[in-house]
Structure 1
Amino acid sequence: MALVRRWQVALLGMTGLGAAAFGLIRANRLPRRRASSDISPPARGETTLSRVAQERAARHPGLSGVHLVPDAVDAFAARLLLVKAAERTIDLQYYIWHGDRTGTLLLEAVHEAAQRGVRVRLLLDDNGIAGLDGVLAALNAHRNIEVRLFNPFRIRYPKAIGFLVDFGRLNRRMHNKSFTVDGAVTIVGGRNIGDEYFGAGDGALFADLDVVAIGPVAREVEADFERYWTSESAYPARQILPILGRRKRAKLRSRASVVESDASARRYVERLRSLPLVQDVVEGSLTFEWAEVRMISDDPAKVVRDIEYRNLLAGKLDGAIGRPQREMTIVSGYFVPGEQGTRQLADYARSGVKVTVLTNGYSATDVALVHAGYAPWRKRLLRAGVRLFETAAEVRGVPSKKQRRQGNRLGIGSRLRPTGSGSFAALRSGAATIHAKTITADRERLFVGSFNFDPRSLRLNTELGFVIYSAALAGQVADAFETIVPDAAYEVTLDAQDRLHWTSEQRSAAREPGLGLFDSLLIGFASRLPISWLL
């Protein structure tokens, strides 16, 4: 999730290096936000995407069509295809946008869309666009593109100084992810924009889950984008970024060309063309599950003031997904339940609900500090009857084809890579990090979105997601906990002496996998610090 670099935030919080300590808030004061009038509203009228979406939705009154996208490469292909198909509008809202292979390819596709007259709006959290100030400024100079930065840093480099002088404001971020084209088709889920989310990098690969949606919920996402776009925390880029022009735009085009000519990037782009998803989209045969879908999100004002629980995404999620009666599954790469979440899950388990959680183990997490927030709650959850599974950065086993299919539905199947013998190694080192955020209740209701089960998603960051009322989809995700998860992760249990134990298909361990002595001391120390609210 690459939040506000959690080790950094925690250390700043511990040492009290905030704005009040230095009295430097005035030096970091933002300019007064002005309404934007740089680009004109697009001409009204039907587009190919809106026509197809309307025709398909008309056969399912009141329902939305949803298609789960667990595969990393499919997830990128879907976005690229939508940009290329855009005729009227492209509205993109993201927490992180990297300037790597996939990030650059998408920006160039967006630029090409603007060249043919599509109105493009980019709403990006300012904490997740490292190194892109010049590129974004150049795009913003285009007559059909506008960039806004959410909760921006006034000091551009190094940005970390901003935390020192204005920690209270900058510690709250926009964690939403949405990708909407022509107001008709949207992609919502856990993925940011970057190689690690799309299977295009040489390093870690994040397992994640997105939803492509059409119908009423797509229009709700578009309306929610508008709410954030016009909020007091969304600043026109021209007020924050340097003013650049044609030379930088030419550099952007050249940069994308270099990416496409790079051998590894070329193989990736070639791979996109052969995907079944591409053909399905081109032919209009992409399958959708038609169901009632409720979009829930935080008020953008959450970054400037505290909001009542019932008005937070978490409060809305409680109401939308309801209290489970039989079973509940949670997939959360950054699982920090805290007192409130632990009590809630323990109560469910004691009342007879089968509660199962999958999260990253220490060796698989990309944010070590999160483990310090999670580890202290394990015993209390286990004593109440909650089942815990943790991924690990090592080969777990050889899942069957059925298990691989069910793993894909869960959002971890993209971690499986074929070996020379045609078998599959699960959750390999460097490809073991869960980034998906899903919840199922009673095999009837499914949540997919950006919300992590942690205090930061609860109180600090804004979030967005779908609650899908579909027994078919919820059941598919829940089934994975009976098949692929036991093979792909350790189950954490308590022995007769109330000590933690880790068990997988291949081994059993009395010590936490991947946690060395130094790591153990560090995590133990961090878990005792009063920083859980930052995690």
Structure 2
Amino acid sequence: MSALSKHLVRLIALCLGIVLSVLVTGCASLPDDVERLPSHTLGDMHGATRLTTVAAASLPADDSVSGLRLLPDGGQALEARMALANAASRTIDAQYYQIANDASGREFLHALARAADRGVRVRLLIDDLHAAGEDDLLAGLAAGPNVEVRMFNPLAVRGRGVPSRVLLSLNEFARVNRRMHNKLFVVDNAFAISGGRNIGDAYFGRSQPANFIDMDILSAGKVEREQSAVFDAYWNSEHAFPIQSLVVKERPPQVARAQFDAWAQVGPDTMQPPMAERDPLGQSTVGAQLASGRIDLHLASVRVMADAPVKATQADTLVDGAVMAGNLELLQSARSDVLVTSPYFVPDTRMLDILQASTGKQVRVAVMTNSLATTDEPLVHFGYSRYRDALLDMGVALYEMMPGVDAMQAASSSHGSLGRLHAKLAVVDHRWLSIGSMNMDRRSAHSNTEMGLVIDSPELAGQVAMLLQREQMPRSYQLQRAGARQRLQWVAPTGTQPVVFSAEPSRNWRRQLGMSFTSLFVSEQLL
């Protein structure tokens, strides 16, 4: 049998398997009689806590502005969460797209359990898709005192890996396709951390061979209260199911909690590696500043953008969510320059029109995304690649992240060896900074729920632009057109003499053929 015949047989078998699985699982459904006791942010907690005292010392008496601090370093981003959780006295509200069952994920969950044991009210909301196989772990956490765990938009199929759960849930494709992509961590209604990072080793520089290059932001004051209101809306949504309503196996609470404690313990060999005392911005750790009684914060006006939970079931799949609409409005307001960073970049017609209008007004526009060598979503990169010529024609500067090796090795590498871009940022006119969970693609615009901040701060905007220009652009290919036929070239800034590639680094005919074939069956709305 030829290689082509083998592939055709596998494809036919896969299609038959999908049809069979849909027929077999067509009757699977979520529970109807789910009890969701509403709860809300505690607000005035009648007395200062350690964290509210630190927040008060770090903010002015004027309540019209908020305090903010960037968290560019992965190790310090995890340390900040752990330091806040360990200092919590009253409440912890955590909302994530993914909490991995690895060292970082278990360390995070164990910190929540310890806080609950001290009497802290813990509410944990997780999107259900990537929680495959974690029902017992999460139910064990929820079996302890003062803890509630809810799953957002869950699948009826439990106890399998992500591919199997998706395959066996295709009879409810709309549910599978709509995910809660928000990331938010609020402690004692005093400090919040939001941004692009999920909870897992790869987001905190603890994974091999690849880690995500990302950005979070610590906030306090008015913005934190608005973020808490967003959390409440999701927590009390009909799409949030208590984990106990989804777990088939019933166990006494003490048994479930004992098993959680055994799973969640982090041994000495998996603890966080040593961190530098200062991050790339020269900032000491959040824990060290908490111990001093004050956190260095930039004061700024902030607008909170958040999609409504109902986006998970809205009928119109082509309407931009509130976060995408807010970001496009920001880009449209540019007068001098725009710098966009997104790991997945698949522009729609409106975004292209805005970028075209901006460059037509002599606004400098640059977009940074992953290269084929560093992306963890090759099909999304293929979707983006269709727009490179058009973007260059309208004057947009394109940068694609190289792997963390030299340029010649990067050209032949099939995946990123050190850094994969994951930060979702936009800097406009050296003044405005957008940061959050939203990618600049169709999925974030129309299918996933997202959350973000638009910050009026030349200082923070300058910090982000400096980090990107100092740390990431020197590690990125810049695309250009050359020759009589104006073909794409990838220019690697190595030393005094750049290396120029006339073919896309890491692309080969097998990968190209596979992506071209798969794209025939996958709409850009799903990318």
TM-score, normalised via structure 1 length:
0.85
2:7 is aligned to none
Give the one of 479, 502, 505 matched to 1:510.
502
Q: Pick closer, same or farther for the CA change 1:18–1:70 going to 2, 3 Å.
A: farther
Output aligned runs, 1:159-174, within 5 Å: 159-174=165-180
- For 2:40 and 2:62, locate their aligned partners in 1 and report how far apart those are by CA, in whole Å: 35
Retained in 2: the 8 A contact 1:162–1:170? no
- For 1:198 and 1:520, locate their aligned partners in 2 and report how far apart those are by CA, in whole Å: 32
- For 1:160 and 1:127, locate their aligned partners in 2 and report how far apart those are by CA, in whole Å: 8
Instruction: Map Cα deviations across residues 248-291 of structure 1 (whole Å, 9 max, x no partner).
Output: 3223323344x3222xx24x255489983031222134311100
2:212 is aligned to 206
Query: Which AA in structure 2 matches 1:332?
Result: S
Output aligned runs, 1:117-266, within 5 Å: 117-158=119-160, 159-241=165-247, 242-244=249-251, 245-257=253-265, 259-262=266-269, 265-266=270-271
1:498 is aligned to 486
Instruction: Give 1:387 deviation, angstroms.
Output: 0.3
Retained in 2: the 8 A contact 1:36–1:236? no
Q: Secondary structure at the match of 1:170?
A: helix
2:361 is aligned to 351
Retained in 1: the 8 A contact 2:71–2:77? yes
2:299 is aligned to 290
Number of equivalent positions: 491
- For 2:257 and 2:218, locate their aligned partners in 1 and report how far apart those are by CA, in whole Å: 30
Q: Pick closer, same or farther for the CA change 1:139–1:203 going to 2, 3 Å.
A: same
Q: Pick closer, same or farther for the CA change 1:319–1:33 going to 2, 3 Å.
A: farther
- For 1:147 and 1:112, locate their aligned partners in 2 and report how far apart those are by CA, in whole Å: 15
1:477 is aligned to 464
Instruction: Give 1:33 deviation, angstroms.
Output: 3.3
- For 1:116 and 1:481, locate their aligned partners in 2 and report how far apart those are by CA, in whole Å: 41
Retained in 1: the 8 A contact 2:375–2:416? no
2:443 is aligned to 456
Q: Pick closer, same or farther for the CA change 1:526–1:380 going to 2, 3 Å.
A: farther
Instruction: Give 1:41 deviation, angstroms.
Output: 7.0
Q: Secondary structure at the match of 1:453?
A: coil
Instruction: Give 1:163 deviation, angstroms.
Output: 2.9
Q: Pick closer, same or farther for the CA change 1:532–1:316 going to 2, 3 Å.
A: same
Instruction: Map Cα deviations across residues 147-185 of structure 1 (whole Å, 9 max, x no partner).
Output: 001001111033224432211122100000000001110
- Note the aligned Cα RMSD (angstroms): 2.9
2:340 is aligned to 330
Output aligned runs, 1:397-412, within 5 Å: none
Q: Secondary structure at the match of 1:352?
A: coil
Query: Which AA in structure 2 matches 1:139?
Result: L
- For 2:380 and 2:139, locate their aligned partners in 1 and report how far apart those are by CA, in whole Å: 34
Retained in 2: the 8 A contact 1:396–1:489? no
Greater Cα offset, 315-324 or 155-164: 315-324
- For 1:72 and 1:269, locate their aligned partners in 2 and report how far apart those are by CA, in whole Å: 11
Give the one of 283, 289, 313 matched to 1:280.
289
In the alignment, structure 2 segments of 5+ residues that lack a partner are 1-11, 408-414
Retained in 1: the 8 A contact 2:332–2:358? no
Q: Secondary structure at the match of 2:493?
A: coil
Retained in 2: the 8 A contact 1:18–1:166? no
Instruction: Map Cα deviations across residues 343-373 of structure 1 (whole Å, 9 max, x no partner).
Output: 3222222221111011000010011111111
1:28 is aligned to 29
Give the one of 380, 392, 408 matched to 1:382.
392
Instruction: Give 1:478 deviation, angstroms.
Output: 2.6
- For 2:371 and 2:292, locate their aligned partners in 1 and report how far apart those are by CA, in whole Å: 42
Instruction: Map Cα deviations across residues 311-366 of structure 1 (whole Å, 9 max, x no partner).
Output: 62211333456521111011001111133322322222222111101100001001
Retained in 2: the 8 A contact 1:18–1:164? no
- For 1:332 and 1:311, locate their aligned partners in 2 and report how far apart those are by CA, in whole Å: 17
Q: Secondary structure at the match of 2:267?
A: helix
Query: Which AA in structure 2 matches 1:195?
Result: D
Taking every aligned residue pair, what percent have the same amino acid on both sides?
Answer: 35
- For 2:80 and 2:441, locate their aligned partners in 1 and report how far apart those are by CA, in whole Å: 29
Retained in 2: the 8 A contact 1:153–1:162? no
Q: Secondary structure at the match of 2:390?
A: helix
1:3 is aligned to none
Query: Which AA in structure 2 matches 1:125?
Result: D
Retained in 2: the 8 A contact 1:342–1:377? no
- For 2:277 and 2:149, locate their aligned partners in 1 and report how far apart those are by CA, in whole Å: 30
Q: Pick closer, same or farther for the CA change 1:310–1:375 going to 2, 3 Å.
A: closer
1:313 is aligned to 323
